[in-house]
Amino acid sequence: MTAIAGRYGTAIPRDKEHPRAFRTSEFFRGVAIAYAVFQPIGAVILGVGSGLGNPSYPDGGIGAALLAGALFWLIGGVVVSAVATVVGVPFAYLLGRSLIRVRHDWVHVLAFLAFGLSLGLAIEYVFSFGSGPFGTLLDAWSPLRAYTWACGFVVVVGWWTTSRLALSKDARALVSAEESNRR
């Protein structure tokens, strides 16, 4: 690791004891990926939900509903998902830090899926005004609650993509360091 630190100006944060340690920049890359992936998914969910829930759109209106949903998403959904991201960041960071010693991908995937589902559930609960606290909370566990499932999905995508990029970069740095040591 010392050769890598000297060559690249920074040590790889992962080692045998902490195989899933991460840099702050890697963490925020995962956050950005999750946020970016959620935007088109959220717009489609809103559009499809609008089309299915409102048969007054012309010709069954899925096209008009998708357009209306996308426009509404640009007005409100992007801001709401940004706020949700900011609220979720400290908890995701703590979760990631608590798992730095865990090597197995499936543990991380399940943990971040549970985190994303919990975040989605909380957001849906907050934004389902007037439905009553217990009915809303129980309804949000329904598989029809697409935003909750989308939150779980994008959090895993953000973690998975960032993890793969970081581990791939580590492997390239190690190979490069070994090659330079042989010369």
Three-state SS string over 130-170 comes to: CCCHHHHHHHCCCCCCHHHHHHHHHHHHHHHHHHHHHHHHH
17 in a structural domain: no
The pLDDT score that the predictor gives to residue 87 is: 94
Which pLDDT tens digit goes with each residue over 99-126?
Answer: 999 999 999 999 999 999 999 888 877 7
Q: Which two tokens stand for residue 114?
A: 């549970």
What is the span of the domain harbouring residue 34?
A: 22-171
Nearest residue to 103 (alpha-carbon basis) of 21, 12, 13: 21
- Please report which confidence band the pLDDT of residue 14 belongs to, taking 50, 70 and 90 as the band edges: confident
Q: Is a pLDDT exceeding 50 seen at residue 153?
A: yes
Q: Is a pLDDT exceeding 60 seen at residue 80?
A: yes
14 in a structural domain: no
The pLDDT score that the predictor gives to residue 52 is: 57
Distance between CA atoms of 165 and 168, rounded to whole angstroms? 5
8 in a structural domain: no
15 in a structural domain: no
59 in a structural domain: yes
105 in a structural domain: yes
Counted domains in the chain:
1
What are the C-alpha distances in Å from 177 to residues 9, 87, 149, 172?
13, 39, 42, 9
- Please report which confidence band the pLDDT of residue 94 belongs to, taking 50, 70 and 90 as the band edges: very high
Task: Tell me the pLDDT of the chain averaged across its residues.
Answer: 79
95 in a structural domain: yes
Q: Which two tokens stand for residue 35?
A: 């946020």
In this structure, the number of other CB atoms found within 10 A of the CB of residue 147 comes to 23
What average pLDDT score do residues 169-179 get? 79
Report the range out of 15-24, 47-56, 89-98 with the highest average pLDDT.
89-98
- Identify residue 162 by its one-letter amino acid code: T
The pLDDT score that the predictor gives to residue 125 is: 77
Which pLDDT tens digit goes with each residue over 121-145?
Answer: 888 777 765 454 445 555 555 545 7
120 in a structural domain: yes
